[in-house]
């Protein structure tokens, strides 16, 4: 009798394998359905984000979609890698951008924008001449001429490099005048003595000539949205400047109040920009410098003060915070902040290739006593000022020419909040 086992043929082995693997087939089916469902969900939700993109570039849309779907930490890590290995700033060198902003300020203007649109008729000229003569005889003496109350820009910014470029750190008047007086000045200065190819651009605003207004975005920071994220068109003829607001509320570590509604509870100790109903504005620490009062229109909080009592808080061991989820302070990125000087005037810094230290040092150098970090990274950092044609049409200028497209983005419906400054006296181009 033979002890040999019957030989199993190849077709029989295949049939046996098929009969013995229903669990594997089930796992494969479940995984396939899960992947298909995930792809469908991703496509559906991404389409919604894309539809609300406001002209944002693809990388910004993708990052927004990821943050909307609880992937913020992953976005922060990817951005950190990007700034570390891809968007690496040069060391040394001189800026290609001019510190003289005269040409940028005058762009798009011609004599017709600055003068009355047509000459009067001969009869009208004669009447005007007679009226002028009568007015002159009744006019007060030059010594009685009214001078509008205004502030003066701070002293020039000191460059950290030994040999500054022409006009570096010099405040230059820009934009439309208010009651004939410059209400805004711009200065450009290096933020550190290592990455000397880049300027930090600084906008100074006279708060005696300009009123502040907070415009909530139609998505952020939530709560009341009376303007659909846009500056009302009737205010365009008096807009002087506008710039980006703060982080998404969920990332701000603080709260938000608008129009009598506490959208998210305000947090003691956090950096706060307070907008009052009379158009005034204050930057400081909630609970120390402010409390809720009836004359407050809005409170926007964001992280801790990056400058307090005229000193940088970036390296303070007692006030150490993350200056944005992307990076604590080392990487050079697009960063922005609002600061307030001792006289109440406001400065805004919004530029590429800034570390948190460089941002704070620039604010301190400009005289900021308190300052609050605003939004960061390309696209979200955006500051603009305006000249006006004789008919009141605003002409937008970018504070830094490399700001992403959308110079007038804060005039139109926009998803994120913006800080606006409006002339409180008649404008002249």
Interval 144-195: pLDDT, tens: 445 789 999 999 999 999 999 999 999 999 999 999 999 999 999 999 999 9
pLDDT of residue 25: 73
**Rg for the chain, CA atoms, rounded:** 29
Distance from first CA to last CA of the chain, Å, rounded? 115
Q: Whole-angstrom Cα distance, residue 96 to residue 77?
A: 31
Q: Which of 97, 105, 106, 104 is nearest to 168 (CA)?
A: 97
pLDDT of residue 12: 55
Beta strands in 118-260 (DSSP E): 172-178, 181-189, 200-205, 210-215, 239-244, 256-258
DSSP secondary structure of 4-50: PPPPPPHHHHHHHHHHT-HHHHHHHHHHHHHHHHHHHHHHHHHHHHH
Q: Within 10 Å of residue 401's Cβ, how many Cβ atoms?
A: 11
pLDDT digits (tens, 9 = 90+) for 51-65: 666 666 666 666 565
Distant-in-sequence, close-in-space partners of 336: CB < 8 Å, separation ≥ 6: 243, 244, 348, 349, 350, 351, 373, 374, 375, 376, 381, 383
pLDDT of residue 428: 82
Helix, strand, coil % in the chain, rounded to nearest 5: 25, 25, 50
Which range has the worst mean pLDDT, 39-48, 172-181, 208-217?
39-48
Q: Whole-angstrom Cα distance, residue 396 to residue 93?
A: 30
pLDDT digits (tens, 9 = 90+) for 378-424: 889 999 999 999 889 999 999 999 998 889 999 999 999 999 999 99
pLDDT of residue 116 exceeding 50: no
Q: Whole-angstrom Cα distance, residue 6 to residue 12?
A: 12
Q: Whole-angstrom Cα distance, residue 345 to residue 65?
A: 37
Q: Please name every residue paired with 90 in a beta bridge, in sequence order, or none if there are none.
A: none
DSSP secondary structure of 190-211: -S-SSSTT-PEEEEEE-TTTEE
CA angle 244, 245, 246 (to 5 degrees): 130
């Amino acid at each position: 009798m033979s002890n040999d086992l019957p030989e199993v043929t190849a077709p029989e082995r295949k049939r046996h394998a098929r009969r013995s693997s229903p669990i594997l087939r089930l796992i494969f089916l479940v995984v396939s359905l899960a992947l298909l469902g995930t792809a469908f969900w991703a496509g559906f939700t991404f389409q919604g984000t894309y539809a609300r993109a406001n002209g944002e570039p693809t990388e910004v849309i993708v990052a927004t979609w990821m943050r909307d779907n609880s992937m913020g930490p992953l976005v922060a890590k990817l951005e950190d890698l990007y700034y570390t290995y891809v968007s690496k700033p040069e060391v040394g060198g001189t800026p290609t951008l001019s510190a003289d902003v005269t040409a940028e300020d005058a762009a798009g203007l011609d004599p017709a924008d600055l003068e009355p649109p047509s000459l009067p008729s001969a009869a009208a000229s004669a009447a005007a001449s007679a009226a002028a003569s009568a007015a002159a005889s009744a006019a007060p003496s030059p010594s009685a001429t009214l001078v509008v109350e205004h502030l003066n820009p701070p002293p020039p910014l000191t460059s950290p490099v030994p040999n500054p470029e022409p006009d570096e750190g010099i405040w230059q008047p820009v934009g439309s005048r208010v009651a004939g007086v410059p209400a805004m000045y711009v200065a450009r200065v290096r933020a550190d003595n290592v990455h000397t190819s880049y300027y930090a651009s600084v906008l100074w605003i006279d708060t005696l000539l300009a009123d502040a207004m907070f415009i909530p975005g139609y998505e952020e920071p939530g709560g009341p949205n009376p303007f659909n994220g846009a500056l009302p068109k009737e205010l365009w003829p008096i807009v002087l400047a506008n710039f980006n607001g703060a982080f998404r509320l969920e990332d701000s570590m603080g709260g938000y109040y608008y129009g009598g509604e506490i959208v998210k509870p305000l947090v003691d100790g956090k950096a706060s920009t307070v907008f009052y109903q009379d158009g005034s504005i204050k930057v400081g620490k909630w609970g120390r410098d402010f409390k809720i009062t009836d004359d407050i229109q809005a409170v926007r909080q964001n992280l801790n003060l990056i400058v307090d009592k005229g000193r940088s808080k970036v390296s303070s061991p007692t006030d150490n915070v993350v200056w944005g989820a992307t990076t604590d302070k080392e990487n050079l990125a697009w960063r922005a902040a609002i600061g307030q000087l001792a006289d109440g005037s406001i400065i805004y810094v919004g530029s590429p290739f800034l570390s948190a230290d460089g941002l704070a040092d620039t604010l301190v150098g400009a005289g900021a006593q308190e300052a609050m970090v605003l939004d960061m990274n390309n696209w979200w950092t955006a500051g603009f000022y305006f000249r006006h044609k004789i008919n009141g049409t605003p002409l937008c200028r970018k504070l830094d020419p490399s700001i992403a497209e959308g110079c007038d983005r804060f005039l139109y419906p926009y998803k994120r909040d913006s800080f606006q400054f409006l002339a409180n006296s008649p404008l002249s181009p």
